[in-house]
Amino acid sequence: MAKDLQKLLRRMTLVEKIGQLSMLSGDFTATGPTLSPDFRDAVRAGRAGSLLNLWGREAVLEVQRLAVEETRLGIPLVFGFDVLHGHRTIFPIPLAEAGSFDPMLWELTARRSAAEATADGISLTFAPMLDVARDPRWGRIAESPGEDPWLAAAYATAKVRGFQGDDLASPDSLPATAKHFGAYGAVLAGREYASVEVSERTLHEVHLPAFVAAVQAGVAAVMPALTDLGGVPATAHAPLLRRELRRNQGFDGVIVSDHSAVSDLLAHGVAGDLAEAAALALRAGVDIDMMGRAYERGLPLALERGLVTEREIDAAVRRVLRWKQRLGLFEDPYRGLSAAPAQSVGHLDRALAREAARRSMVLLKNDGDLLPLSASARRVAVIGPLAAAGGELLGPWWAAGDRASAVSYRDGLAEGLPDREIRHAAGCAIGGDGGNGDASGFAEAVALARWSDVAVLCLGEAAELSGEAASRADPGLPGLQRDLAEAVIATGTPTLLVLTSGRPLIEPAILSRAPAVMAAWFPGIEGGAALADLVSGQAAPSGRLAVSWPADRGQIPVFFGQRPTGRPAPGDGGRYVSRYLDRPSTPLYPFGHGMGYTRFALDTLTVTVDTLGPDQDLGVSVGVTNTGRRAGQETVLLFLHDPVASSARPLLELRGFQRIELQPGERGTVRFTLPPAAFELLDHRLRPAREPGRVEIMVGPAADRDRLLSTWIELQPA
């Protein structure tokens, strides 16, 4: 630590030290974010080292000035905010954007978010959220990059790079927080904040790789999960935070607790009072207590009782001060804000939002090539409670976004299809927490469907049914929407079902009856315009599923990376094999599924060598031909399977993806390079190892064995 920080630490009182470890929250009022008088006093007294939820140039300048000019030591504050999928320009939710399989896009949207958030004074985002999620009942699956650890790791790298840029101290760098460490996505039965029970192997193979990638990319902070892991809350989990994160992964940034997670240790049943809670968290390695005020109240008592030492407190304070130095705050506490505001503050990047939304929507089915709409479809009925509800399209985290800035499907289609007659009926309420309404709008909706040549049926979830604290035991269409769907489809009018949601909605009957289905997720402010681009054929859909779409609630969790069983079920039938008697075991749509407006065929899978030495890269290539009549983009996934290893390997392990753009009739080649690490697995001590033997290499459009080309290589011993 620089000498002057050491000096600073020596001058600090206990209250000031604990202040650096405490994060307080701003309030949102009618005039925008503000800080309560109590918290202003806390800042002046040096009892706060960081704030969350306070943003906006003027507010941040003013409160930072309090910290710098009116406190005894003048230590600047860090301003944190949940900039998950956009700050003012709200992009598609992470689950959707992950399905673009495009690291450049992930990075670009994060870069844009960083520019907007830093212009609003934010110096820390609580993102990227990196919880591998395989359970659509869990509302936070919306915030996650989906079910696969390798995809999540690639996403982590791109997001950290996009948010932070090259230099954390640069005024437009947005220091990032990898959250929630670890395995929050595995909450029991998908119920929010419930306990987590995963094996050490699954923790390391599935839930931690994205965090390893974020740490390698230099992420500034890590947030432990609100949940416990096998009985020990992550916030108090010394082996997880100190041994795994700090020692094994080499993380040297700051660990920020989740909201009130330190005081939650009481309810978790591992601490008897705030002193014990504070001591447990600090000793586990949590540097900053977000909004729990547990460090403020508990640490002095813990010190008195000998539960912590002042040295331990100093170590955390030292990390926080060093971190503030890396963020450039001692050089310029205002991080460039004191200069005249850039003209562009408040300006939205609609073009990028539209592209991201277009690239994230997934065409699940398109019977009879209903899409793109033919010229003969003159009369278009836009039906459903999500049709005109633009604000809902922002999804669960809208940061400083303005719900009124969103383009609804109805408005987007009206603008994008100017030569058609567009009429709209809601049909029913969205349904959910606020009540389900009644069926009095059905008759109008059905009449409109009958009138039209094509119906665009916009159903799904309100934003509040998704995200944090939004677990659903029945993750299907809420309220009366199922009935509305039945009634509209029953008219026989060709229907495009547009699903807005933060999760795969489990509605097998409706999905089988609607001829075309587009998973639009929560697409962000340009959702309506992007839908129009795709429906009109201005652009072709290219989004893919970053999560398997279950065929039935009883299958949850269903994901492609399952391990083999001792009793595999080759077909649909048979007894004493691993299957359900009453339902298929496979999802309705696999990971990677997503249609475009053309067809592709893969041929000639080749590998550069048949026997691979321990330090060698493997080159893999495959031919791709556009066999349809339109230009389009194909995403090719590469999987491995090691059929005989010291522990059973997942049936498919993702190790690569590539996109290729081809004109009708054109053939191209997609190439992958797999480094030696791609073939590592964890040995019985959970250390990376290379085990010799045969490995299957597969490529194709989705995690569906029937659609994959395959070849074999032999791994030589290390």
- Footprint of ligand BGC (CB under 6 A): 52, 82, 126, 179, 226, 258-259, 468
**Residue at shortest CB range from ligand BGC:** 126
Task: State the residue for tokens 């194909």.
Answer: 634
- Considering beta carbons, is residue 52 or 119 the nearer one to ligand BGC? 52
Helix, strand or coil, per DSSP, at residue 320: helix
Helix, strand or coil, per DSSP, at residue 261: coil
Partners of 696 in beta bridges: 641, 712
For the bound state, the minimum distance from the C-beta of residue 695 to ligand BGC, rounded and expressed in Å, comes to: 38
- Considering beta carbons, is residue 52 or 498 the nearer one to ligand BGC? 52
- Considering beta carbons, is residue 161 or 259 the nearer one to ligand BGC? 259
Exposed, middle or buried, 440 (CB in 10 Å: 0-12/13-18/19+)? exposed
- Considering beta carbons, is residue 320 or 445 the nearer one to ligand BGC? 320
Rounded Cα–Cα distance for residues 34 and 60 (Å): 9
- Considering beta carbons, is residue 179 or 655 the nearer one to ligand BGC? 179
For the bound state, the minimum distance from the C-beta of residue 256 to ligand BGC, rounded and expressed in Å, comes to: 9
Rounded Cα–Cα distance for residues 605 and 700 (Å): 10
Rounded Cα–Cα distance for residues 482 and 519 (Å): 16
For the bound state, the minimum distance from the C-beta of residue 681 to ligand BGC, rounded and expressed in Å, comes to: 31
For the bound state, the minimum distance from the C-beta of residue 162 to ligand BGC, rounded and expressed in Å, comes to: 18
Exposed, middle or buried, 571 (CB in 10 Å: 0-12/13-18/19+)? exposed
- The two structure tokens encoding residue 73: 């030591």
- Considering beta carbons, is residue 86 or 528 the nearer one to ligand BGC? 86
- Considering beta carbons, is residue 52 or 496 the nearer one to ligand BGC? 52
Rounded Cα–Cα distance for residues 390 and 409 (Å): 7
Nearest C-alpha neighbor of 458 from the set 415, 416, 488, 502 = 488
Report how far apart, in Å, the C-alpha atoms of 162 and of each of 96, 398, 435, 571 are: 17, 18, 40, 45
In this structure, the strands spanning 50-52 and 22-25 are parallel
In this structure, the strands spanning 362-366 and 421-425 are unpaired
Nearest C-alpha neighbor of 14 from the set 296, 243, 279, 255 = 296
Question: Residue 425: phi, psi to the nearest 5?
Answer: -145, 135
Answer whether 81's CB lies under 8 Å from 60's CB.
no
- At 129, the amino acid letter reads M
Edge-to-edge order in the sheet of strand 379-383: 362-366, 516-519, 495-500, 454-460, 379-383, 421-425
For the bound state, the minimum distance from the C-beta of residue 179 to ligand BGC, rounded and expressed in Å, comes to: 6
For the bound state, the minimum distance from the C-beta of residue 290 to ligand BGC, rounded and expressed in Å, comes to: 7
Q: Is 131 a catalytic residue?
A: no
For the bound state, the minimum distance from the C-beta of residue 464 to ligand BGC, rounded and expressed in Å, comes to: 15
- Considering beta carbons, is residue 137 or 179 the nearer one to ligand BGC? 179
Range 597-628 burial, b when 16+ CB lie within 10 A, else e:
bbebebeebebeeeebeeebebebbbebbbeb
For the bound state, the minimum distance from the C-beta of residue 184 to ligand BGC, rounded and expressed in Å, comes to: 8
Rounded Cα–Cα distance for residues 451 and 441 (Å): 16
Report how far apart, in Å, the C-alpha atoms of 445 and of each of 385, 453, 488 are: 11, 14, 7
Of the candidates 258, 289, 349, 642, the residue annotated as catalytic is 258
Exposed, middle or buried, 432 (CB in 10 Å: 0-12/13-18/19+)? middle
* Distance from chain centroid for Cα 348: 22
Answer whether 183's CB lies under 8 Å from 225's CB.
yes
For the bound state, the minimum distance from the C-beta of residue 262 to ligand BGC, rounded and expressed in Å, comes to: 13
- Considering beta carbons, is residue 25 or 491 the nearer one to ligand BGC? 25
Peptide bond into 268 cis (omega under 30): no
For the bound state, the minimum distance from the C-beta of residue 529 to ligand BGC, rounded and expressed in Å, comes to: 29
Q: Give the residue numbers marked as catalytic.
A: 258
